Structure 1
Amino acid sequence: MPASSLNTTYFDGVYRASNDPWAFETSPYERAKYEATLAALPREHYANAFEIGCSIGVLSQMLASRCGALLSVDASELPLKTARARLAPYKQVTVRQMSIPGEFPEGEFDLILLSEVGYYLAMEDLQRARQQMLDQLTRDGHLLLVHWTPVVHDYPLTGDQVHDEFMKMAGPDKPLKHLLGQRGETYRLDLFQKS
């Protein structure tokens, strides 16, 4: 496994090889996971949501109607052309190129979604990003993590390592409360609320 976070160049290469490298538009697995993701959200509506790693915007589109404002970002600019076209009818959605933790938006969010992104970060960068999320999450705001759990040797971390790192911040006298934990055959979902 690499010791450093995967950078924009890595993702540009992936998207040059395929417009939809993970089959977000067509995969029954992705569709079922997206439905589980949306079903896990306790509120029907969020005032200001932040989606980290939107890719071509398939999940963003499903999430948009539940958000007063949604900022969807990806490390690579290449998939964002597709995302912007898909999300153009949703005036409350902003799509931006942004690579966490080196870049992080200002403002507060009552929902932060980290889906299939955390394992691209080295542990130090994941911990920095985790703190940024905690700082920008509103009191009682929700933080939802969803990640593939099998080992991928190109990635610095596994999905379980990502989720376990956030679990360290949950519990009595800690900043997060763990509301929900689910395991699919090959993915893990954990929902937190800021105390």
Structure 2
Amino acid sequence: MPDPPPTGPHRTPTGSVAPGYFDRLYLDQADPWDYATSPYEAAKYAATLVALPRVRYRRAVELGCSIGVLTRHLASRADALLGVDVSDAALDQGRQRCAGLGHVTFERRTLPAETPGGPFDLAVLSEVGYYLSRPDLDALADRLAAAVVPGGHLLLVHWTGPTDYPQTADDVHARFLADARWQRLDGHRAPDYRLDVVARL
């Protein structure tokens, strides 16, 4: 079981966790959630890769890529991969971790306002949706529906433990599973996280 995420984040006017919260975390500790060393995270990454319906994607985006640990795994499954995060400190680590992978790029963006426009045939939303308020999550859903091509995939994976964030894992996944623009392909619930894959109709 992972350590509980840090608590007490500041909120934006729309109710989402404020970007500055993440930079403070990464400046205080390079890997605040032990992404690079946790057996739990390693097992979750393996399950994430297994859940991808295709062996390879043309153009993928990872929203909330953090320090690039999952990004490096996803790089083997995409011809082009964009990792985005709100924290410059995290992105610096991601660039170092994926150095030499010419098809992987990183950009600082704030969700949902700066969600990349695509087109993508894969979007990964891992451990980031619950930081958004419901209005911002709705806006992200609209932007992803526009960015992912018909037949493309969205993979959602989030920790199910307690937090004081605006949403829970179940809130985030239920929002997309109830959206008529997506069709659920697969999913499972592990002891500490849930994973769902949906296809753009």
TM-score, normalised via structure 2 length: 0.92
**DSSP-derived class of the 2:115 partner:** coil
Counterpart AA for 1:160 = D
1:53-132 alignment, distance < 5 Å: 53-132=64-143
Mapped partners of 1:59, 1:91: distance in 2: 16
The one-letter code of the counterpart of 2:75 is A
Distance across 1 between alignment mates of 2:57 and 2:173:
23
Q: Which runs of 5+ in 2 are unaligned?
A: 1-7
Q: Once the two structures are superposed, what CA deviation does each residue of 1:94-124 show, in whole Å capped at 9, x if it has no partner?
A: 1111111021223300000000000000000
Q: 1:180 aligns with which of 183, 186, 189?
A: 186
- Determine the C-alpha separation between the residues in 2 that align with 1:71 and 1:139: 19
**Equivalent residues in 2 for 1:16-55 (5 A)?**
16-55=27-66
Which residue of structure 2 lines up, in the alignment, with residue 166 of structure 1?
176
- Is 1:194 matched up with 2:194? no
Shift of 1:6: 0.7
1:140-194 per-residue CA deviation (whole Å, 9 max, x = no partner) reads: 00000000112202x111111110111111xxxx211100120010100000001
In structure 2, what is the Cα distance between the partners aligned to 1:176 and 1:135? 12
Q: Does 1:140 align with 2:151?
A: yes
Structure 1 regions of 5+ residues with no counterpart? none
**Aligned with 1:69: secondary structure?**
strand
Cα distance in 1 for residues equivalent to 2:90 and 2:24:
11
1:107 and 1:32 map into 2 onto residues whose CA distance is 29
Cα distance in 1 for residues equivalent to 2:109 and 2:58: 21
In the TM superposition, structure 1's runs of 4+ consecutive aligned residues that sit over 4 Å from their partners are none
Asked if structure 1 preserves the Cα contact closer than 8 Å seen for 2:117 and 2:146, the reply is no
What SS does the corresponding residue of 1:182 show, helix, strand or coil? strand
Aligned length: 190
The CA RMSD measured in Å over matched residues stands at: 1.2
Q: Give, as a single letter, the amino acid of the residue that structure 2 aligns with 1:193.
A: A
Q: Secondary structure at the residue paired with 1:34?
A: helix
Task: Kindly indicate whether the alpha-carbon contact (under 8 Å) linking 2:117 and 2:143 is maintained by their aligned counterparts in 1.
Answer: no
Paired position in structure 1 for 2:4: none
